[in-house]
Structure 1
Amino acid sequence: MSVIRHHIPEEMLVAYAAGTLPHAFSVVVASHVSMCAACRASLEAHQTIGGMLLEDMAPVAVSDGLKSHLLSHLDDPFRPDPVYQKSGVLPGPVMAALKGRPPRWKKLGMGVCQDILSEGPEGSVRLLYIPPGQAVPDHSHGGLELTLVLQGSFQDATGRYGVGDLEIANEDLEHTPVADAGDPCICLAATDAPLRFRAFVPRLLQPLFRI
């Protein structure tokens, strides 16, 4: 079993526990937490502290009709959200984003494929499939990028990332991730701004691939 060496920063865990992390990043954090006992324990500690803070908050006045309004909805039909389990290398949070379906890989070139799970004003989250030995074109970042390895591994200027490892890249990092030999590298990647490619062809195709 791969040893996880690259974890979620504490401030990001705090934001996730408080519910203030953007959706795309939340999917990655939830997936990492499902794979990493250390970060899961840290998250539970932050959630406990958050609960204690709520208990110590001063009461807030509510409207006179709130209780009757709530009681009037007790018999409303309730349909719980489906619970998705891990499937193969895909953690439960990824399966939830996929709504239980298998990945629909779309080719980006040189054997690299992607499946966009969601995208919006706050950012996007996608699955990436990178064949062994293949490089992702050299790029920097317009914002923050989180990349979680689900299968295989890759290397770049900052080090090597195996299953469960999380790479956090910001505007200061320009890199060329390369998948290691062995299994294809499958990653979950979230960004809050478009990537900045150095080469002309990736820049030309960027609007088409929505990266």
Structure 2
Amino acid sequence: MNVQHHISDELLLAYASGSLTEGWSIAVATHLALCPNCRRRLSFMEHAAGELLEMSATEVTPQPETVSADSWENMKARLKADKPVVGNDDKSIVAPRATDMPVLPEPLRSYLGGDVGSLKWKALGRGAYHIPIKTGDRESQVRLLKIPAGKPVPEHSHGGRELTLVLKGSFTDGEAIFRRGDIEEADETLTHQPVATPDEDCICLAVTDAPLKFRSLMVRLVQPVLGI
């Protein structure tokens, strides 16, 4: 698996600092379970934060906190310089066969009580299904989505942020294609209509913090019932 679309630096840094609420954290943690490169980026951030804490602890006299205006840009430059890992150079580790791997990695699988074969899906219409995921987070809505092969999601924009993580199959959005492990971040500036690729159904984890803004009047009418 070669993940091409990664979590943003800003969101990963928020996860590393513990400032994300539960819904967003589920999406980031699930992406990390599928993406060695982002796990390495997270480790780098945590290591850098640890060094900063050690440096501050060695100060004999408290000093006023000063932050360079370009400190965050410098951090992002260091992250970009740390090239992604493609494949696994450790020959002692035997990668599991794709058929042996669960579709839902942890921690997501524990939230749902099992892998996709044991789940009870709820119909959304037009062959699509979803499973709302309960959390203690009142800021976001978390759900598993199953989009039929070759079918589009209704065209929509956003009232806030949306994270979509592919767990099985793939979808296209414009010229970009998102496969297992890929994550798409969307906000109020994006209007789009993702389409599941024709080879198999696409199963995704979706997290939002505001209702979607659908173009179709029919979808808008049933939206309160569906809770999307």
- TM-score interval, smaller chain: 0.7 to 0.9
Alignment of 1:80-119 (within 5 A): 88-100=102-114, 102-118=118-134
Q: 2:166 aligns with which of 129, 132, 149?
A: 149
1:33 aligns to 2:32 (yes or no): yes
What's the secondary structure of 2:191's corresponding residue?
Answer: coil
Structure 2, unaligned runs of 5 or more: 59-99
RMSD, aligned α-carbons: 1.9
CA distance in 1, matches of 2:55, 2:197: 50
What's the secondary structure of 2:107's corresponding residue?
Answer: helix
Structure 1, unaligned runs of 5 or more: 60-85
Q: TM-score, normalised by structure 2?
A: 0.75
- The amino acid that maps onto 1:27 is I
Alignment of 1:150-189 (within 5 A): 150-157=167-174, 159-189=176-206
CA distance in 2, matches of 1:126, 1:57: 41
1:196 aligns to 2:206 (yes or no): no
Count of aligned pairs: 184
Cα distance per residue 1:73-117 (max 9 Å; x no partner): xxxxxxxxxxxxx96210112112224474321000011000011
CA distance in 2, matches of 1:103, 1:196: 28
Sort the Cα spacing of 1:14 and 1:179 in 2 relative to 1 into closer, same or farther, 3 A.
same
Sort the Cα spacing of 1:179 and 1:14 in 2 relative to 1 into closer, same or farther, 3 A.
same
- Does structure 2 retain, via aligned residues, the 8 Å contact 1:139–1:176? yes
Alignment of 1:124-143 (within 5 A): 124-143=141-160
What's the secondary structure of 2:219's corresponding residue?
Answer: helix
CA distance in 1, matches of 2:225, 2:151: 21
Q: Give the drift of 1:37.
A: 0.7
What's the secondary structure of 2:49's corresponding residue?
Answer: helix
CA distance in 2, matches of 1:210, 1:58: 48
Sort the Cα spacing of 1:124 and 1:158 in 2 relative to 1 into closer, same or farther, 3 A.
farther
What's the secondary structure of 1:205's corresponding residue?
Answer: helix
Match of 2:64 in 1: none
CA distance in 2, matches of 1:157, 1:8: 19
Match of 1:63 in 2: none
Cα distance per residue 1:100-139 (max 9 Å; x no partner): 4743210000110000113653111110001101111110
Match of 1:82 in 2: none
Q: TM-score, normalised by structure 1?
A: 0.81
Counting aligned pairs with the same residue, the percent is 47
